[in-house]
Amino acid sequence: MSERLSVSYNRKPCYDIVFQQSFQGLWQELDVLGCGGKRLCIVTDSKVDELYGNEVLSCLDGNCLKAVKYVFPEGEANKTLDTVKGIYQYLIQEGFDRRDMLLALGGGVVGDVTGYAAATYLRGVDFVQLPTTLLSQCDSSIGGKTGVDFDGYKNMVGAFKMPRLVYVNLSTLQTLDSRQYFSGFGEVMKHGLIKDALFYEWLIENMYEICDRDMAVLQEMLLRSCSVKKLVVEKDPLEQGERALLNFGHTIGHAIEKAKDFQLLHGECVALGAVAAAYISWKREMLSMEEYYEIRDMFVPFYLPISIDDIDPDEILRLTKADKKMESGRIKFVLLKKIGRAVLDSTVTDEELLAAIREIYFSEEDAHA
């Protein structure tokens, strides 16, 4: 059954998030946006293209002025300016102008890269998000953050560019491998922890159905998760304040992601970062010990890591200092005042960060203890 959320920008309706269980309703949504007279370019990666590229292309063929597809190799390693350059070259070759539109078909990498290309090609063309992973459906496709990694640093180059539409086909979740699927739960859990304690409790109650990918439960989960993201980005679209709460788990998480050379998935690193942030919150007596351990252990049924080996805690600390969330030499860190209420804090010390990193670090000494 189709559902819809409307997202505002500067208090005016900006775009809809549409929840469907196939791509059959896609052209109807695009037609409303006036795509009949536009050139449309699907941007996707090699893995998603095999699954859905031609299906989505067939939804466009014969309905618009021109429909083409640009495919780049899958993986975080290709979230670079070189990939964006390839998109520019292809769009120039195909004669795309400012009236035309890009369609980001894939996960977070595809959405971020396509959005950044759309924000910068000819100083800005429209784009649509067609997210196909749990992480992108619940989080990265919403709110207009776009960008690429630079010299190994996560999302260091980017722009804000609101999509014209986010079209969520829930059936794509059924084709994700288990690791990719559960990686997205790191962001889902984040939304409950920072803004919605009742949603957090609902996730615990529906744990087995979520793991079984029950479609009705997944639709409710995505609606509630996206509603949290929608409320935050509507209040603070350009991250001048409250939107930074969405970075819960990301400061240490991004550092781990870089240190492990992106061998861990983003949601896995967010889970580790969330455990570390919850640990600091406990040590500051904002959370009880019981709440900290419940948060930590809640990631386990969803096959997300709560500890990691083969890292250097001092190196992780150093990498957090290169994070883009630094402000006046201090990290804007997100802590939990309680479950369902996050706060920004710029007073977290190196000693606290190092203690939190060591809490999630599983060393050889621990293995033999």
Q: What is the pLDDT of residue 368?
A: 44
Sorted by where each begins, the domain ranges of the chain are 3-176, 186-367
Residue type at 140? S
Query: Which residues on adjacent β-strands are paired with residue 159?
Result: 146
Q: Which residues pair with 16 in a beta bridge?
A: 6, 165
What is the DSSP secondary-structure string of 318-364?
Answer: HHHTTSTTEETTEE-EEEEEETTEEEEES---HHHHHHHHHHHB--H
Number of H helices, E strands in the chain: 17, 13
3-176: which CATH architecture? 3-Layer(aba) Sandwich (3.40)
Residue 363 pLDDT: 66
pLDDT of 325 reads 61
At which residue do the structure tokens 């986010």 appear? Answer: 166
Of the candidates 120, 119, 144, the one whose C-alpha atom is nearest the C-alpha of residue 229 is 144
For residues 225 and 229, what is the distance between their CA atoms, to the nearest angstrom? 7
**CA dihedral (301, 306, 309, 315) positive or negative:** positive
- Give every residue of the chain whose pLDDT is below 50, as ranges: 368
Is the domain defined by 186-367 classed in CATH 3.40.50.1820? no
Whole-angstrom distance, CA of residue 196 vs CA of residue 341? 7
Instruction: Express each pLDDT in 235-255 by its tens digit.
Output: 999 988 899 999 999 999 999
Residue 305 token pair: 């890591």
Beta-ladder partners of 3: 19
In this predicted structure, what is the pLDDT of residue 365? Answer: 57
- The DSSP bridge partners found for residue 42 are 69, 103
- Indicate the SS3 state at residue 262: coil
Torsion of CA 289, 194, 141, 59, to 10 degrees: 90
Torsion-angle region of 112 (φ positive above 0: left; ψ -120 to 50: alpha; else: beta) = alpha
**pLDDT tens for each residue of 52-96:** 999 999 999 999 999 999 999 999 999 999 999 999 999 999 999
CB neighbourhood size of 204 (10 A): 12
